[in-house]
Amino acid sequence: MEYISLASGSSYFRSPGAATAAAISALQAGKTFYGPTEGTLELRQAICNTYNKDGLNVRPEQVLITPGSKQALFNLFTILLCQGDEVVVPTPAWFGFHELMKYSKGMLVPLPTQLSEGYALTPEALRKTLNSRSRILLLTNPGNPTGRIYTKSELEALLEVTNEFPNLYILSDEIYDRVTYSRPFTSLLSCKGAKEERIFLINGFSKSFAMSGWRLGYMLGPEEVIKKCIDFQGSTLAGVSVFLQDAALATLEKQDQALPPMLEVLAQNRQLMQEGLDAIPEVKYYTPDGAYYFFPDFSHYLNRETPSGETITTSVDLCRYLRESHSLELVPGDYFGAPGHARMSFAIEMPKLQEAMQRLKQGLLVIRCSF
């Protein structure tokens, strides 16, 4: 049986033609030497323009181009965190945060949100969790794995709380910002109450533009901290290759060509996965507003036995069973701080997705109650 993976964090689309063409011509033009650590002025300005057209007034000095947004996060964790500082992360959250934190001085503090409440992060829950040791609040909007998009008023209510904590920085990971379906996306920086000196936007080209292998990300934030991050990046990795940044610039300039066809396919796939899930009894899920994952609750299928007599206790067991018996790969919810769930990407070819949903149904329906 052909193996099907719904586990990847990148989509199956090809990177935009404009990116490839720009990279090739930059290489042919000999742009193969060190560039500025902070990134080319053209790319940083183009990034500012995307925010300024929505009414912001940000400057290239506030932007650092990084080798992937993961590195932007790592730079900030390194610069901002002292021993024991708390990094509050609403969960379910991307497992990469936890992995990155292992190499920093900070401590991750999960702030659970619930499927039954639409994964809403309430100002009350946030206020209860924040304290004088909280240094960073790390929001992901749209969410990975939930696909949840915070509304503008939700963000503004959260900002009212964070503004009570003068030592707190907010990192808003907006890497899926252009992948939206049912709700408009609002950048944290454009909300009422957003303090430019406390907020960092984290973003990149991996998700919205299907460019994960190019390693292109950026952070946008207060200039004084950005300067420190530039120093850190200069001493460790140096600047992102200039020919890659030319590709990123071309991608932004031609984004109106690249995005609509991808979003159209993703919207159809989202529908297909939703129908597939609806056809399986007792599976609960949040319909994603953005990103390209469903994160269903498969708890009903735990503490049961597979046809071969294996007991399934956790979502890790469930994913192992689906992989070994049905050649279908999902990511266990335990990795995102949500036991009983699993993450499923719908950013794959439609025929494969159809087959995957059939296999999931077959795989789950034969699991028997073991007591």
- When the beta carbons of 5 and 327 are compared against ligand PMP, the nearer one is 5
Specify the residue, 213 or 307, whose C-beta has the smaller distance to ligand PMP.
213
- Residue showing the smallest CB distance to ligand PMP in the complex: 68
User: Is the CB of 94 or the CB of 295 nearer to ligand PMP?
Assistant: 94
CB 310 → ligand PMP: shortest distance, Å? 30
CB-wise, 146 or 306, nearer to ligand PMP?
A: 146
**Is 70 near ligand PMP (CB under 6 A)?**
yes
Residue among 37, 40, 62, 69 that touches ligand PMP (CB under 6 A): 69
Rounded Cα distance between 122 and 135, Å, is 19
- Asked if 39 interacts with ligand PMP (CB under 6 A), we say no
The secondary structure of the chain, three-state, reads CCCEECCCCCCCCCCCHHHHHHHHHHHHCCCCCCCCCCCCHHHHHHHHHHHHCCCCCCCHHHEEEECCHHHHHHHHHHHHCCCCCEEEEEECCCHHHHHHHCCCCCEEEEEECCHHHCCCCCHHHHHHHCCCCEEEEEEECCCCCCCCCCCHHHHHHHHHHHCCCCCCEEEEECCCCCCECCCCCCCHHHCCCCCCCCEEEEEECCCCCCCHHHCCEEEECCHHHHHHHHHHHHHHCCCCCHHHHHHHHHHHHCHHHHHHHHHHHHHHHHHHHHHHHHCCCCCECCCCCECCEECCECHHHCCEECCCCCEECCHHHHHHHHHHHHCEECEEHHHHCCCCEEEEECCCCHHHHHHHHHHHHHHHHCCEECC
Q: How far is the CB of 213 from ligand PMP (least distance, A)?
A: 9
Helix axes 350-365, 255-278, angle to 10 degrees: 20
Closer residue to ligand PMP, CB minimum distance, 47 or 280? 47
Measured from the CB atom, the residue of 175 and 230 that comes closer to ligand PMP is: 175
Window of 22-30, 65-73, 260-268, 326-334 that interacts with ligand PMP by CB under 6 A: 65-73
Stretch that binds ligand PMP, among 22-30, 40-48, 66-74, 312-320 (CB under 6 A): 66-74
In the shown chain, the binding pattern of residues 82 to 121 toward ligand PMP, with x for contact by CB under 6 A and - for none, equals ------------x-x-------------------------
Q: Which stretch binds ligand PMP (CB under 6 A): 35-43, 67-75, 116-124, 295-303?
A: 67-75
Decide if residue 140 touches ligand PMP (CB under 6 A). yes
Indicate the residue among 218 and 243 with the shorter CB distance to ligand PMP: 218
Site for ligand PMP in 17-36 (CB under 6 A): none
Q: Which is nearer to ligand PMP, 135 or 343 (CB)?
A: 343
Give min distance, CB of 238 to ligand PMP, in A. Answer: 17
Interaction of residue 206 with ligand PMP, rule CB under 6 A: yes
Tell me the per-residue interface mask from 164 to 183 with ligand PMP, x by CB under 6 A, - otherwise: ---------x-x--------
> Would you count residue 146 as binding ligand PMP (CB under 6 A)?
no
Long-range contacts of range 317-323, CB-CB < 8 Å, 24 or more positions apart?
318/342, 321/363, 321/367, 322/359, 322/360, 322/363
Summarize as ranges the residues that interact with ligand PMP (CB under 6 A).
9, 68-70, 94, 96, 140, 144, 173, 175, 204, 206, 212, 217
